[in-house]
Structures are given as structure tokens and as C-alpha cells.
Copies of this chain bind each other. A is one copy, B any other.
Amino acid sequence: MSRKPNLKDVAKVAGVSAITVSRVLTDPTKVSDKLRNKVEKAVHEIGYIRNHAASALASKKSGVLAVIIPSLSNIVFNDVLQGIYQAVKAKNLQVLLGDCHYSPLIEEQLIATLLSQSPEGFIVTGTAQTDYARKLLLQADIPVVQIMELTNQPIDMNIGFSHYQASYDMTKHLLQQGYRAPAFVGARMDPRTQQRLAGFKQAIADWPEPCRSFIQTTVQPSSIKLGGQLLQAVIAESDNQCDAVFCCNDDLALGAMFESKRMNLNVPKDIAICGFNDLEASALVEPAITSVASPRAEMGRQAVEMLFSAAGKGRHAVAPVDVGYSIMVRSST
């Protein structure tokens, strides 16, 4: 046999009908032990592997879960992915992963492409999908979960936490520690970073005593190195007045921390540094960096569970889930 074996070939070898072979592969309990053994032997003997395309076409089940994240290089989404893969392992699912590079337009194209695989569920990051992307997702009639942030107008289901509120709390923490000239340092400036910036501004505005504040942002992607550069920039721009730096993520914060060492600045005396995401390194550098922790893997896991409990129940089958966050106060502030 040169071509790939199909169900009929197995059936012939096993001396049963094709549909019986199919049943052995999908639900062995439906077949008697005798036939099942014969079939399994035949399958192994000729190395039969089911044709997924035909199976998906006939059954209208693709066994595929579509996931779009904004970046493969940002370790934050890796944690979420790990949770997703862990939850998916038990179920009979394959993950189709797309990286939209923080672009809603690329995301839209990816959604169209991934939808062509008839995924049984869709996980997208954030809430900034284009109108057409939303339309496609709604039309697909599959459960959709938007993760990472919370929104009032979810496409379907939603799990995340408030970056605005977390940032507000962190800024308040800085002010409570006595810092009166905090700076917000942001890179990439994706929607979640902007929400963090908004929380920072509001916390400053709400503070009863007078205080100054500085803002230094760039659309460049985050990196540790960039954190050092932005620290330099904000110190220069503030004319040495700023006494605390709230970095929009821990990569920048680590970079700022390393740079402050080089500049012989004492953290937290000369300047406080805090970040966001609570990467492992943040807790282990000296001084350890105050950061915002959130249960990312758990969020990924729950997103998958939501997809499953929502299957066939129409839109908004599961209420939005706020996974919360914690301000991990450490010696850097």
C-alpha cells in the first residue's frame, strides 16, 4: 500500500465495516471487546492515522482551540499560554496560536485565518478588536473569551483584572510612602499600558496634598535595556526632581534598577522603583522590586474552562471574571 491507509483499509484487514473502525477510534465503549481488539490490532499493524480534515468535515468538530496573543516575546503571555496548554491537555484539543504583534489589523486577519479552521473556541487578548473582527467572532457562533483586561462590552465572555485600578493602587502606595514627585515610565503603549497610565494620573489627581508628577513614554517595545534609558530620560526631563519611577512593566523596572546602580543612586532612598507583572527576577534582585502580581496561568486555565462550560449555551453564558491582583510591596519602594 503506497498511499496513506484509510478507514476502509483498516476495516478490510480487521474484517469489519468502516464505521466500526471509526467507532473504535472515537468511542471504544460502543464496540464489543472482540471487534475492538481486532480493530486495534489492524490499526497498529498498518500504522493507520485518522485523517483529521475528513473527520472535522463530517463531524463538524475540529478539535481545535484558537488563541491570539499580542507577543511571543513578552514572557507575560507565556504564563497565560502555559495555563491554557495545561487546561487543554486533558481535553482532546489542539491549540492554534497566533501572534498579532499588538496590531488590531493583524489580529483581524489572524482571526479570519484561524476561524477558517473552525475552532471550537476562541481566546483573544485584550478588548481592542476591530469591528469587523468582532463581527466575525460573533458570527462564528463559538464561545469567545477576551482575556487580560475587563470590559463592559465583551464580545462574549471575559476574564482579567483592572489594570487601571492596579496602577491606581500602586501609585497610591508610592504617595503613601511619602514620594511626592513620581514618574510613570511606559513603553509600547498598548491598551493595557494606557490603562495603567490613566490609573497613575487619576491617583495623582485624587491625592489630597500637592504633588508633582512626570510621564515618560515611548512606543518602542519594552526591554530591560530600554528601562535604563527611560530612567535616564525621566531624570533628565524632570531636572532631577522625580523621586519615584513607576515602570509599566518589570522589564523596564529591572532595567531601571540596574541603571540606578550604575548611576550610584540609592533605591529606594534617592529614588523608588516599582513595576508591573511581578516577574521572578523582581523578587530576587537587591533591592527587590515592588510590583503588581496577577494569576496569569490561572487566567489561562480558567479561560479554557469558561469556553467549555459555555459550549452551546449562547452568548455570555459565563459572567465576567475578575481575577484580581496584588501589590507586592518590596524594598525598592
Contacts and interface: CB of A to CB of B under 8 A. Distances in A.
Interface string A22-62: 00000000000000000000000001011111111100001
Count the copies.
Answer: 2
Contact of A57 (B54, B75, B82, B135): B54
Interface string A256-299: 00100110000000000000000011001110000000000000
B82 A94 contact: no
Given A73-B82, A95-B96, A51 B116 contact: yes
A128 interface: no
A328 interface: no
A174 B219 CA distance: 41
A95 B261 CA distance: 42
B72 A75 contact: no
Nearest to A1: B139
29 contacts: A4-B141, A47-B132, A47-B136, A49-B112, A49-B115, A49-B116, A49-B140, A50-B116, A51-B116, A51-B118, A52-B118, A53-B57, A53-B118, A55-B116, A57-B57, A72-B81, A73-B79, A75-B78, A78-B78, A85-B99, A94-B113, A95-B96, A224-B284, A228-B284, A254-B284, A255-B284, A258-B286, A261-B286, A281-B281
Given A4-B140, A50-B116, A281-B281, 12 more contacts: A4-B141, A49-B115, A51-B116, A51-B118, A53-B54, A54-B57, A72-B85, A73-B78, A73-B82, A75-B75, A75-B78, A225-B284
